[in-house]
Structure 1
Amino acid sequence: MKGSALRIYAVLAKEFTQLRRERITYAMILLMPIIQLLLFGYAINTDPRHLPAAVLAHDHSGMANAVVVAMERTAYVDIRYLPRSEAELDRLIRRGDVLLAVTIPPDFTRRLLKGDGAQILAEIDASDPLSAAGVIGAVSALPGEALKRELVGPLAEPGDRQAAPFEVVVHRLYNPENLTAYNIVPGLLGVILSMTLVMMTAMAVTRETERGTMESLLATPATPVEIMVGKLAPYVLVGLIQTIVVLMMARILFGVPMARTAAGWFALASGVFLFIVGNLSLGYLISTVARSQLQAMQMSIFYMLPSIFLSGFAFPFYGLPHWARMIGEAIPITHFLRIVRGALLKGQVIADMGPDIIALMLFLLVIGSIAIARSRTTLD
């Protein structure tokens, strides 16, 4: 009995020693449930509020201003732009700067007071059906709430007015049929590329380190930059093949719209290339930190959690609290989703994607530089 206890103690001591050596692995095990709890408890919200909006008012009367004020009072809409032309308004919604574009016609007040079918136009970016649903509900409630204080006394019931003083004409843009596949399927391209390329690169390079072949490579005249470029280049081709396959299936199986112009395809290709190389650079960086393939896989999965939940793929981006959106803006898949959805659904070109293209370039520059710097001391 005493000998058995000693043997158990020896195995126990050995495990604690291994635990001290595998700090990254056990840190991941402890951090994973904490991160999941924080994300689902605080960040995830399927009812987005304070969505950006723009109002083009051709009528500046008190009645028209009351409608604008009523929109601002709702929790769903934040009026951030007051464009001066329809071209400027169209550009804002096409670029994704706003999700709601409201136009108040010049004859709004005249028709309202006469009870002659006054209308306002609400154009909604429906590329994300979940976000659009809340906005539609908010603007649809305006006729019954916006003018309660203004339409009193003789103005309350002109002769032929209908129950509602005016009508909100809703146009769903980019996804008029409200198909979820138009939002999810293009987004899956970013998730698939992130999951496969980051993990594949991290585990492949870590495997070479475990087998000693990486040490042999570093002993050759090849520089760390040359080694990194040579190792990542084949995976760029893999990522491009994945992209073509996903886009073909999206079109054939789900009828997802494709880019309509050469400029649109060029913009999409630019975003895809930057995203692929950025993910591969991140995988290479992970391989310089991980000591085993298991650690490389765990770190890749750890990266995927915020990529899925904070990027606008699984849940509306504007439904996240401010701190979560700040984290999401630092994740490359957030910008890639805007690029791919913009090119396929909105007909965007490079000029419309400027901030997102720049964000992917910065991510590639920073992560690539750190990976090259660490590769010099990886095997020391």
Structure 2
Amino acid sequence: MSAADDSATGRIQPIKPPRFGFLRRTYAMLVKELIQLRRDRLTFAMIVVIPVMQLLLFGYAINTTPRHLPTAVLLQEDSDLGRSILKALENTAYFDFVQEVQSVEQFDNLLLSGKVLFGVEIPRGFERAVRRGERPALLVAADATDPVAAGSALSALGRIVQTALEHDRVAGDPGNPPFEIRAHARYNPAASSRLNIVPGLVGTILTMTMLIFTALSVTREIERGTMENLLSMPITPVEVMLGKILPYVGVGFIQASLIIGIGVFLFGVPLRGSLLLLALLSTLFITTNLAIGYTFSTLVQNQLQAMQASMMFFLPSILLSGFMFPFAGMPQWAQYLGECLPLTHYVRIVRAIMLKGSTLENLRYDTLALAALMLIAMTIAVTRFRRTLD
């Protein structure tokens, strides 16, 4: 009882609280939290790394007007006028000719696989038709699954007609140019943003949920005190990992089916490719993210750190995968980082299957990359968990 006996008056006097008690208690809690923050190095690193990462990525890696886009060329004839036009296209800084093909089939396969974003075809008899004043057509095919990446380059084609042959002594006037450029925006001719965003959302949502599900798996066992029971069982690290990952494969598959179904029936996104192929590669992507999340759970000490590690991985995945910003517009170092992220390859896969109708042969590189990332994550997870078992 907060009181004191006054012997002179016989009355009980209340004990006065110490002066500045509120400030002292608040200061003590402040010191305690600072000490705890200093000991939690991962949280402190998040405070520093996240704003720096966002600043660097948005300042250096993100570019909404990409240039030097990979382009293939199909030369039906090799002429001086054709070379002048190709040089004029390169001078716009939007087109970078990386491959010369010999047939229309090769031309189409490169666009289907995503190895090039544009294809230029100079038809046979082009120079003779220009000399005769027949105004032949030059074909430019564009992969318009990403309207932002293709839009700026296609808008620059109009200037090519007026400037490409100005040094070749070809008769013509501004009102009657010597040739025309027929641009064909394939796979998304209306430049609809939802056809680009909705397929990418499949991978983005799966990345976030699958990482969090398994990133908490091992740390949850430790915090609940059930890890000792698990370690006492005659079970191998691989069996533990598969037992924790496989249930969520089904959960992820249900999520993917739901998102794709809504995209097709509600937003009108086409499904031009094989549904079975999309299901198989989606399962591979789900397993890869689950393996990465499980790896995080073996590297951290508690569930808070597991969530923080997942967010640290999720942020660059969104920015560098080509989901929000054109992948081809990023600098080389950012593209190398993006190639190490599963979401980068899955965004290409889901867009290619749904919008282009690509086959497994067209998507061989991204499929192998996903499989390699999955094996690397599983190897690290098993190695780390084996140390815990030992």
Asked if Structure 1 and Structure 2 have the same fold, meaning a TM-score greater than 0.5 normalized by the shorter chain, the answer is: yes
Quick one: distance in 1 between partners of 2:20 and 2:115?
73
Q: Once the 2 structures are TM-superposed, how far is the Cα of residue 270 of structure 1 from its aligned partner?
A: 2.7
Whichever residue aligns with residue 139 of structure 2, its letter is L
| Partner residue in 2 for 1:312 | 322
Alignment of 1:160-199 (within 5 A): 162-199=175-212
1:365 and 2:380 are equivalent in the alignment: no
Give the structure 2 partner of residue 323 of structure 1: 333
Aligned counterpart, 2:129: 111
- SS of residue matched to 2:369: helix
Equivalent residue, structure 2, for 1:95: 113
Q: After superposition, give the CA deviation of every residue in 1:109-149 in whole Å (9 maximum; x if it has no partner).
A: 12211211211011110111111102212323210111111
Correspondence list, 1:72-151, <5 A? 72-151=90-169
Partner in structure 2 of residue 69 of structure 1: 87
SS in 2 for 1:75: coil
CA distance in 2, matches of 1:24, 1:34: 15
CA distance in 2, matches of 1:149, 1:137: 23
Aligned to 2:235: 222
Between 4-13 and 352-361, the greater mean CA deviation after superposition: 4-13
Q: 1:136-166 CA deviation, whole Å, 9 max, x = no partner? A: 1232321011111113xxx4348xx952221
For residues 37 and 7 of structure 1, the distance between their equivalents in structure 2, rounded to whole angstroms, comes to 38
Is 2:362 the partner of 1:352?
yes
Contact 2:217 2:294 in 1 (8 A): no
Which of 351, 357, 371 is the aligned partner of 1:341? 351
1:211-242 CA deviation, whole Å, 9 max, x = no partner? Answer: 01223112111111111111111100000000
Alpha-carbon spacing, 1:13–1:162, altered in 2? closer, same or farther (3 Å): closer
Question: SS of 2:130's equivalent?
Answer: helix
Contact 2:134-2:178 within 8 A present in 1 as well: no
Between structures 1 and 2, the one with greater helix share = 1
Change over 3 Å in CA distance of 1:267–1:140 after alignment to 2: farther
Among 242, 253, 262, the alignment partner of 2:266 is 253
Query: 1:24 and 2:42 equivalent?
Result: yes
**Among 45, 56, 63, the residue aligned to 2:74:** 56
Query: Pairwise mapping of residues 232-251 of structure 1 onto structure 2 (< 5 A)?
Result: 232-251=245-264
Counterpart among 213, 223, 226 of residue 200 in structure 1: 213
TM-score by length of 2: 0.91
Does residue 269 of structure 1 match 2:279? yes
Unaligned runs of 5+ in 1: none
Residues 266-317 of structure 1 show CA distances to partners (whole Å, capped at 9, x for unaligned) of: 4322321111111111111111122222211111111111100000000000
CA contact 1:122–1:139 (8 Å) conserved in 2: no
SS in 2 for 1:348: coil
> Which one is further off, 314-323 or 20-29?
20-29
The structure-2 alpha-carbon separation of the partners of 1:157 and 1:277, relative to structure 1 and needing over 3 Å to count, comes to closer
SS in 2 for 1:71: helix
Relative to structure 1, the CA distance from residue 347 to residue 132 in structure 2 (aligned partners, 3 Å threshold; closer, same or farther) is: same
The CA deviation at 1:6 is: 6.5
Letter in 2 for 1:297: M
Higher gyration radius (CA): 2
Query: Matched residues in 1 for 2:137 and 2:248: separation?
Result: 54
How far has the Cα of 1:379 moved from its partner?
Answer: 7.8
State which drifts further: 1-10 or 124-133. 1-10
Compute the displacement of 1:245 (Å).
Answer: 0.4
Q: Secondary structure at the residue paired with 1:351? A: coil
Deviation at 1:66, TM superposition (A): 0.6
Checking the alignment, whether the CA contact within 8 Å between 1:115 and 1:162 is kept in structure 2 is no
Q: How many residues align?
A: 372
Distance in 2, matches of 1:5 and 1:85, equals 80
Counterpart amino acid of residue 125 in structure 2: D
Q: Which moved more, 1:240-249 or 1:346-355?
A: 346-355
Structure 2: state its 5+ residue gaps. 1-18
Instruction: Verify: 1:287 aligned to 2:297, yes or no.
Output: yes
8 Å Cα contact 1:207/1:292 also seen in 2: yes
CA distance in structure 2 between the aligned counterparts of 1:245 and 1:130, rounded to whole angstroms: 27
Deviations 1:167-209 (A, max 9, x none): 0011111111211111110000000000001012212432222
